[in-house]
Structure 1
Amino acid sequence: MRLPTIALLILLAAGVTGCATNPATGKSNFVMMSEQQELELGRSASQEIAKQYPRYADEKLQTYVQRVGERVAQYSHRSNLDYRFTVIDSPDINAFALPGGYIYIHRGLLAYLGSEAELAAVLGHEVGHVTARHSVQQQSQSMAWNVFGQMVAIGTGVGAAGDLTNVLGTAMVRGYGRDMELEADGLGAQYLARSGYDPQAMIEVVKVLKSQEDFARDQAAKRGQAVSTSSYHGVFDTHPDNERRLQQVVGPARALAAGQQEVNREVFLQHLEGLPFGDSEATGVRRGQRFYHAGLGFTLSFPQGWTQTNRPDVLLGQSADQHAFVAMTLDRAERTPEEFLRARLGGQRLAMPEALNQAGLQGYTGVIPGRPAKRVAVIFKDKNAFLFVAAVKNGASLESEDERFLQTIKSFRPLKTEERKLAQPIRLHLVRAKAGQSLADLAKGSPLPGDAEATLRLLNHLYPTGEPQPGDWLKVLR
């Protein structure tokens, strides 16, 4: 056994880290990054985010979110930072922060919030991550464990030791999740109270997220499927229960509140009028098995039973068992479709080549042999090249799905004039509840796929069985 050597290496590894006083908590934290490096890292990362995630094109809403965020951030422990709050054009229920004050909230999360105070709670939570330098701490811990792993590998002569310590380091970093999330909630609640918002909104946001979890589980049970949820910040894995939050976060924060604690429900809801629900026109709209994109002027369909994932960088169709997939990406058209495709293959052999000519569009397709074999194709439209890659996972043969792959590729065609309305998203609108009116009434004729009534309850904080009171503002979809 070589425990003395490993112990020495631990001390040496600790020597490459540094201690710094946390500006938000006053505690001493291991960090390997100066504040200037933190700011540079955030600036660089924000440029990459801008490339990958489209900014939601509603400057009135962007200005409103920036104003609410600044109101909270000015009462934070690092009010000197230049905070930038951005709404991302994505239906995901998420928000996140980069080092240095770059904070993002997805359009999809906004739709489920019920007041300006709840928006401030989400933004305050993210400001808390920034002020406590959580991302810096995590990166520093990861860096330290990587250095330690390399040193152990050298000192023991066993290369696997490096892998082992990397795993341990990752586990330790993830282990801080509960503490960091609760700490961010505590800081966010303080900032809420100091800026004049009701810190109870932090609890209301947790209720929204918990209802999302219940809704996903209930809908999966109706379909006879298991559910694997991925919640905002892994909230149900890392966050304590609501009662503990109420005691540890909101209670102390209320003591900081001065005067009236604002909620501003109606002001917030008015800013949501017309907000796309689910897909937006700019990113393309999924309707059943077909996908429509107004800006690029095309449509295509996926096989029955397949799911679609619409991301900024790729449109992905997957079979129900997730063993087969077709991915479509966008590039700039150059030369002929055949020359374009062969250039992208970089010299790989293309079997079964075939020219495509569909609805007046030129393309080319073929199969890349191998394990697994892949069906590839490109279709030119206007100045764009739509590149397809299709494959089967888990060792199955390409032939088992290739006919469906080709059907999907060959379904690609220009959008017809009468289909333009299908490329428009479902939008959120506000109505006043009338006496005797139920959410079941409002769900009739809804364009929503699936359980429209349950979705409306979720949007209006009435899940699973609540009903509105006459005069309440309600979110509806049409």
Structure 2
Amino acid sequence: MRVSLLLALLQLAGCAVNPATGESNFVMMSEQQELDLGQRYNQQILKENPRYADEQLQAYVQRVGERVAKNSHRNQLTYQFTVVDSPDINAFALPGGYIYIHRGLLAYLSSEAELAAVLGHEVGHVTARHSVQQQSQSTAWGLLGQAVAIGTGVGAAADITGALGNAFVRGYGRDMELEADGLGAQYLARSGYDPQAMIEVVKVLKNQEDFARDQAAERGDAQPAGGYHGVFDTHPDNDRRLQQVVGPARALATGQQEVNREAFLKRLEGLPFGESADTGMRRGQRFYHGGLNFTLAFPQGWNLLNRPDALIGHSADQQAFVALTLEDNPQNLPPLELLRQRVGGQRLVAGVELQQAGLKGYSAVIAGNAAKRVAIIQHGAQVYLFVAAVRGRASLESYDEQFLSVINSFRPMTGAERKEVKPLRLHMVKVKPGQTLEALANNSKLPGDAVKALRLLNNLYPSGQPRAGDWLKVVR
């Protein structure tokens, strides 16, 4: 009875007409609440995702995005488009019109129309209120679980319905992604861009998945998960559902449908490819961060994960980890006092002062069954916290020498390192008659199989060849 009443109330209070599709959707959030939510999330995202420091490129992406957004179903919103300084192949939208595209994805696009397609797809998520639907469904499942627990006296019921809710709303799912494709294609056509660019972008993303799968197979690794857009079982040209949602947009096209390939490629000239100095780069076993002016080394065979909030190194067997984070020190505490504050009431043993490359710090072990090596190092106005731990049956003693080697390797970069450690960058070349991709790859600094990587970069994967007169992206 309680559940039936709750569902009836939710249905009455949570039905709204979707501004993009005209369908009735279950939502539990007003538009003002959506805008407030987006603004709060945006402040957090900006802290965690560094803005790419090229204001001309930022302004260009904003202009293209606004051109598409003003032809959308919610053109009254104020849209903000931001290029993130990250090599990841990604783009995403927050509620209310905050849209991000990583420079890693920009590098693989080939025209302004394709850029407009990515931004239009994300605008489609905003206009269809996909994140609002997702949040509302999650909230409803949580309330349903509470009602079942109250009505039956069985607390486990809340856990069951919560699990169902999480499974139901995990990711946008292919239906919402396809809906965003269709809406984005409409916005492209209304904005004067060729809606076929939406198909081309999906090809780029599908090629990324195929390339990752092929590389994994060559290494004998497990198959990687799909990309940010969702998995397509067939090539985009042959995907029936994708063609069905993009096809109608072609009827909206009037006059010249712009692609603007060369103008877009010129905007990419000099764009960092892969890691950048400002966010950190790996060279061999040493990591360099030009923006924060530090470097440190990891043991041979260790892997690195460079995230906006932490640098994480781990052994090949993933039994040992070292995490480095940038910490606040508003009280200007000395390293030992700050370390004690950070570990709370946990007992520190085997403490030792650090003096390296003119930097002061303190290192100790947190005692206990799950012992950890911790350290604080002051570097100018910045304070860095190291936390090193083991998992499984490994012991701290078996890895502590390696942990200490990482901590002790931390120092400022030298002047020579700041000059020499530079990111790879994109450059545009015009293909000469008879020139092949293999010949161009000989002068490329792309890691691994440079020919395949160059094909992927230019949307020619797996076996395409450029034509004389084409502009191609190369990496130097």
| Shorter-chain TM-score range | over 0.9
- Residue 417 (structure 2) pairs with residue 419 (structure 1): yes
What is the CA–CA distance in structure 1 between the aligned matches of 2:252 and 2:411, rounded to whole Å?
60
Deviation at 1:249, TM superposition (A): 2.0
- Residue 8 (structure 2) pairs with residue 27 (structure 1): no
What is the CA–CA distance in structure 2 between the aligned matches of 1:440 and 1:66, rounded to whole Å?
36
Give the letter for the 1:155 counterpart: G
Greater shift, 400-409 or 160-169, is seen at 400-409
Deviation at 1:25, TM superposition (A): 0.6
Q: In the TM superposition, what are the counterparts of 1:187-336 in structure 2 within 5 Å?
A: 187-236=183-232, 242-332=238-328, 334-336=332-334
Q: Which of 178, 182, 186 matches 2:182?
A: 186
Does structure 1 retain, via aligned residues, the 8 Å contact 2:203–2:236? no
Does structure 1 retain, via aligned residues, the 8 Å contact 2:3–2:147? no
SS at match of 2:370: coil
Give the letter for the 1:347 counterpart: G
Q: Deviations over 1:281-334 (max 9, x none)?
A: 211111222111223222111112221111111111122232221110112453
- Residue 452 (structure 2) pairs with residue 437 (structure 1): no
Deviation at 1:443, TM superposition (A): 2.2
Q: In the TM superposition, what are the counterparts of 1:48-447 in structure 2 within 5 Å?
A: 48-174=44-170, 177-236=173-232, 242-332=238-328, 334-447=332-445
Cα RMSD of the aligned pairs, angstroms, is 2.0
Deviation at 1:127, TM superposition (A): 0.6
Does structure 1 retain, via aligned residues, the 8 Å contact 2:58–2:83? yes
Q: Assess, with a 3 A threshold, how the Cα gap between structure 1 residues 239 and 99 changes in structure 2: closer, same or farther.
A: farther
Does structure 1 retain, via aligned residues, the 8 Å contact 2:90–2:102? yes
Q: Deviations over 1:72-103 (max 9, x none)?
A: 11111111111111111111111111111111
What is the CA–CA distance in structure 2 between the aligned matches of 1:8 and 1:118, rounded to whole Å?
47
What is the CA–CA distance in structure 1 between the aligned matches of 2:402 and 2:12, rounded to whole Å?
55
What is the CA–CA distance in structure 2 between the aligned matches of 1:138 and 1:197, rounded to whole Å?
30
Does structure 2 retain, via aligned residues, the 8 Å contact 1:281–1:293? yes
Q: Assess, with a 3 A threshold, how the Cα gap between structure 1 residues 15 and 197 changes in structure 2: closer, same or farther.
A: closer
Q: Please list every run of 5 or more consecutive structure 2 residues that lacks an aligned counterpart in the other structure.
A: none
Does structure 2 retain, via aligned residues, the 8 Å contact 1:177–1:238? no
Q: Assess, with a 3 A threshold, how the Cα gap between structure 1 residues 264 and 428 changes in structure 2: closer, same or farther.
A: same
Does structure 1 retain, via aligned residues, the 8 Å contact 2:11–2:26? no
Q: Deviations over 1:42-101 (max 9, x none)?
A: 111111111111111111111111111111111111111111111111111111111111
Deviation at 1:9, TM superposition (A): 5.3
What is the CA–CA distance in structure 1 between the aligned matches of 2:152 and 2:340, rounded to whole Å?
48
Give the letter for the 2:347 counterpart: R
Give the letter for the 2:243 counterpart: Q
SS at match of 2:253: coil
Deviation at 1:12, TM superposition (A): 5.0
Q: Please list every run of 5 or more consecutive structure 1 residues that lacks an aligned counterpart in the other structure.
A: none
SS at match of 2:252: coil
Give the letter for the 1:319 counterpart: S
Deviation at 1:172, TM superposition (A): 2.2
Does structure 1 retain, via aligned residues, the 8 Å contact 2:348–2:367? yes
Q: Assess, with a 3 A threshold, how the Cα gap between structure 1 residues 176 and 389 changes in structure 2: closer, same or farther.
A: closer
How many residues are aligned here?
474
Deviation at 1:143, TM superposition (A): 0.6
Q: Deviations over 1:340-382 (max 9, x none)?
A: 2122112311121122222222221111123422111111111
SS at match of 2:229: helix
What is the CA–CA distance in structure 2 between the aligned matches of 1:409 and 1:320, rounded to whole Å?
19
Greater shift, 197-206 or 438-447, is seen at 438-447
Q: Assess, with a 3 A threshold, how the Cα gap between structure 1 residues 175 and 431 changes in structure 2: closer, same or farther.
A: closer
Give the letter for the 2:4 counterpart: L
What is the CA–CA distance in structure 1 between the aligned matches of 2:303 and 2:310, rounded to whole Å?
14
Report the TM-score, using the length of structure 2 for normalisation.
0.95
Give the letter for the 2:244 counterpart: Q
Q: Deviations over 1:199-218 (max 9, x none)?
A: 11111111111111111122
Does structure 2 retain, via aligned residues, the 8 Å contact 1:77–1:131? yes
SS at match of 1:321: coil
